[in-house]
Amino acid sequence: MNPIDAFFKALPPISSAPLLEESGVSVWIKRLDQSHPQISGNKWYKLWHNLRAAKAQGAQKLLTFGGAYSNHIVATAKAAQLFGFASVGLIRGEEHLPLNPVLHYAQSCGMELHYMNRSAYRNKNAPEQLRQLHKRFGDFYLIPEGGSNASALEGCRQILTPDEWATFDAVCLPMGTGGTLAGLLLAAQQDQQVIGFSSLKGGGFLRAEVERLLTAHQKVYQREVQDLPTWHLETAYHFGGFAKQPPALKSFMTDFERQYSIPLDRVYTAKMAFGALDLLQKGFFERGQRVLLLHTGGLPRVLD
Ligand SMILES: *Cc1c(COP(=O)(O)O)cnc(C)c1O
């Protein structure tokens, strides 16, 4: 077995566990945050087939993008170190010294950090920018922002086991770029509800983004994606925007951790859990349904 698949096999298995029962609906949680301390949660699934592809192409270097607090940057830096790639992280915005713990950790894994101003960052996928990057950094395997591409979907389709798909009527998960949801959809049954909670303000664009990722996946993997179940996009639980943490969200996180001993992160999983439990209160789910909350991680240990 290649070292990348072997690493995956050696991760602790995560099973879903019951969380609460209300109005005849049982809510479970699957804690991907417990899989690896730095390649946290969904990020491993998104990197997995990218790492395989990079090795297969003989790439020596990974290059990717992210914000200054990006879980994806941490995960990519660690994975590059584990599997013998050099890595370059292009960070949105200006350099701030001393480095924050996320960037400091990435650098300590050997990732070379460079900064892009916001307008260059917005245009990072333009062909001209890409040519410039190759001029500057030579050959590299490009992993897009958040890791979301066709290879990421291939990994994310394996986040839930066939047993879990057979058990749950609905799966709730947070969304950043939509790659994780798109991958999950590839494995969902027609009658299953997949509900994505946008962590960003104005998350309506995610519908088209998931469509785009599915189409890219279909081109690479030549599978039919027309017959996938429709999915539900919740855009109302962003709490003011991506990195915002108003008091209501903060106290929800504190209460949730106290009650269930499960830590949530403020960017993604707290908003999703809040939203899912709010939908439950509002009667969104039917009596007898089994609902799974996907804890996608977001709490990388970068201080030790
Ligand atoms: C990166 C991340 C997400 C977003 O996943 P997408 O595939 O970009 O939608 C969700 N939750 C956590 C904890 C993350 O770190």
To test ligand 1's pocket by mutation, which of 31, 38, 42, 69 has the most ligand atoms within 8 angstroms of CB? 42
179 Cβ below 6 A of ligand 1? yes
Mean pLDDT of the chain: 95
Q: pTM for the full model?
A: 0.96
Look at residues 189, 183, 259 and name the one whose alpha carbon lies nearest to residue 27. 259
pLDDT at 223: 80
147 Cβ below 6 A of ligand 1? no
Å from CA of 74 to ligand 1 middle:
13
Give residue-wise pLDDT tens across range 231-253. Answer: 999 999 999 998 889 999 999 99
pLDDT at 304: 63
265 Cβ below 6 A of ligand 1? yes
144 Cβ below 6 A of ligand 1? no
**Distance in angstroms (rounded) separating the CA atoms of residues 166 and 302:** 36
Amino acid (1-letter code) at residue 38: Q
Tokens 């999950």: give the residue. 184
151 Cβ below 6 A of ligand 1? no
User: For residue 300, what pLDDT band results from cuts at 50, 70 and 90?
Assistant: confident
Look at residues 200, 203, 148 and name the one whose alpha carbon lies nearest to residue 179. 148
**Distance in angstroms (rounded) separating the CA atoms of residues 154 and 193:** 20
Query: 241 CB contacts (<8 Å, ≥6 apart)?
Result: 200, 201
| Lowest-confidence region among 101-110, 157-166, 216-225 | 216-225
155 Cβ below 6 A of ligand 1? no
Å from CA of 46 to ligand 1 middle:
10
To test ligand 1's pocket by mutation, which of 69, 197, 268, 299 has the most ligand atoms within 8 angstroms of CB? 268
269 Cβ below 6 A of ligand 1? yes
Å from CA of 172 to ligand 1 middle:
13
Which numbered atom of ligand 1 lies nearest the CA of 206?
A: 9
User: Cis (ω within 30 of 0) for the bond into 3?
Assistant: no
297 Cβ below 6 A of ligand 1? yes
Look at residues 211, 200, 267 and name the one whose alpha carbon lies nearest to residue 234. 200
Q: How far is CA 133 from CA 53, 136, 141, in A?
A: 20, 5, 11
Look at residues 60, 73, 146 and name the one whose alpha carbon lies nearest to residue 108. 73
CB-based burial label for 251 (10 Å; 0-12, 13-18, 19+) = exposed
Look at residues 299, 4, 300 and name the one whose alpha carbon lies nearest to residue 151. 4
**Distance in angstroms (rounded) separating the CA atoms of residues 134 and 141:** 10
Å from CA of 135 to ligand 1 middle:
31
196 Cβ below 6 A of ligand 1? no
Give residue-wise pLDDT tens across range 136-154. Answer: 999 999 999 999 999 999 9
